[in-house]
Amino acid sequence: MNQKIKRILKITLPLLLGVFLVWYSLSQISIDELVEYFKKADYTWIVLGMFLGLLSHLSRAYRWRFQLEPMGYRVRLGNSIMAVFATYLINYTIPRAGEVARASILTNYEDVPFEKGFGTIVAERIADMIVMLGIIAVTLFLQFDFIYGFLIEKFDPTKIIIAFIAGIILMVFFFRFIKKSDFKIAIKIRTFINGLIEGAFSIFKMKKKWAFIFHTLFIWGMYVLMFYVTTFSFEQTQNIPFAAILIGFIAASFSIAATNGGIGSYPEAIVLAFLLFNIPEDPSRAFGWIMWGSQTLMIIIFGGLSLIYLPIYNRKKSNSKV
C-alpha cells in the first residue's frame, strides 16, 4: 500500500466511522427525546464542567513552556494558549493535524524550530499517556471487587484463570519477540516503548520538573472533575457510582482517538460504560452528547478565536521583521 493511499485512509476512515456512529447514536434515541433531555438539563453544572475543561487547556499551555525553556526558547503565554486551542480545533478536521499545526505556530511566531516544537509535543503526549495508564491502574485497584464480580458473573471462573495465565505467557513471548526481532513492526513497537521510558525519565531531568508534574496531574484532575460535575446536569445521572464515572471517563477518553474529536464515538463509549452499572441507555446517551457537545462548543469558540487573533497578536513582531 503506497503512502498516498495510507494518508487518504487515515483521513477518511475516522470521518466515515464518526458519521456512522452519529447515525447509529441518533437512531437509538429520537431527536425530540434528545432535545427534551437538553431542555431539562441543569446548565449550571454544564458551564462549570466547561470552565474546568478550560482550566485544563490553560494549564497545558502553561506546562508546554517548561519543556521549551531548557532549549532556550521563552515562548509568550498568549501564543502557547492559542496554539493549544488551535490544535484541538484542527484535530476535528484531520486526525493529528492539530499537533503539526501547533508546532508550526511556534515556528512562525516564536522562531522555535519545527522538529524541536514537535518533539516537545510528543514528549507531552507520553507524559499524558503515563497518567492515563495510572488512572486505569487506580480504577482497577479501587474497583477490583466490582470488576472481578462482573467477570465471574459473565464468564466461567476456570476460563478466566486460563485466559489470565495464557495472557501472561503471551505477554512474555511478545516482549521477547519485540526485544530480539528485526521485523519493521517489532522495531516500531520497540522504539515506541523505549521512547515512552525515555520520555518518562526525561521529566525528572527537567529544570522545573515538579511544576511540570503538578500541571500534568492538574490537567487530568480537571478532566476527571469536568466529567464528574457534568453528571449532575441530569437527574438520571446525579447519583451514579463513582466507579461508573471513572470507567465512563476512561472509555470516553479512548473514544476521542477513534474518530475526529470523538464525534459519534464519545456518547456511545459512555453508553457502553454506563450499561455495566445498569444505567439506562437514553439518559446515558443524552449525557454523552451534552458532555461532548459542551466541550466541543468551547473548543470551537476558543479555537476559532485563537486562529483569528494569532496574526493580530503577533503583528508587531511581524512588522519588526520587515
Query: Does residue 235 register a pLDDT over 80?
Result: yes
pLDDT at 321 over 50: no
Q: What is the pLDDT of residue 123?
A: 83
Judged by average pLDDT, the poorest of 49-53, 195-199, 269-273 is 195-199
Percentage with pLDDT > 90 across the chain: 32
> Do residues 83 and 106 lie in contact, with contact meaning Cβ atoms separated by under 8 Å?
yes
Over the stretch 253-308, which tens digit does the pLDDT of each residue have? 988 888 888 888 999 999 999 988 888 899 999 999 999 999 999 999 999 999 99
Q: Is 82 in contact with 303 (CB distance < 8 Å)?
A: no
Q: Work out the percent of the chain whose per-residue pLDDT is above 70.
A: 85
C-beta contacts of 256-259 below 8 A and 24+ residues apart = 258/14, 258/17, 259/14, 259/15, 259/17, 259/18, 259/21
Q: What secondary structure letter does DSSP report for 30? A: -
Most confident of 8-22, 115-129, 267-281: 267-281
Residue-averaged pLDDT of the chain: 84
Does the pLDDT of residue 116 top 70, yes or no? Answer: yes
Tell me the pTM: 0.81
Average pLDDT over residues 88-103: 84
pLDDT at position 301 is 94
Coil, helix or strand at residue 193? helix
**What is the pLDDT at residue 286?**
92
Interval 204-229: pLDDT, tens: 667 788 888 899 999 999 999 999 99
DSSP-assigned letters across all residues of 262-304: GTTHHHHHHHHHHHTTT--HHHHHHHHHHHHHHHHHHHHHHHH
Once rounded to an integer, what is the mean pLDDT over residues 225-236?
A: 93
Query: Quick one: average pLDDT of 306-315?
Result: 90
Which pLDDT score, from 0 to 100, does residue 222 have? Answer: 95
More confident residue, 139 or 189: 139
The pLDDT tens digits of the residues spanning 170-186 come to 888 777 777 777 777 77
For residue 138, count CB atoms less than 10 angstroms from its CB and return exposed for 0-12, middle for 13-18, buried for 19 or more. exposed
In the numeric block, the cell 478565536 is attached to 305
Residue 322's pLDDT band (cuts 50, 70, 90) = very low
Residue 8 pLDDT exceeds 80: no
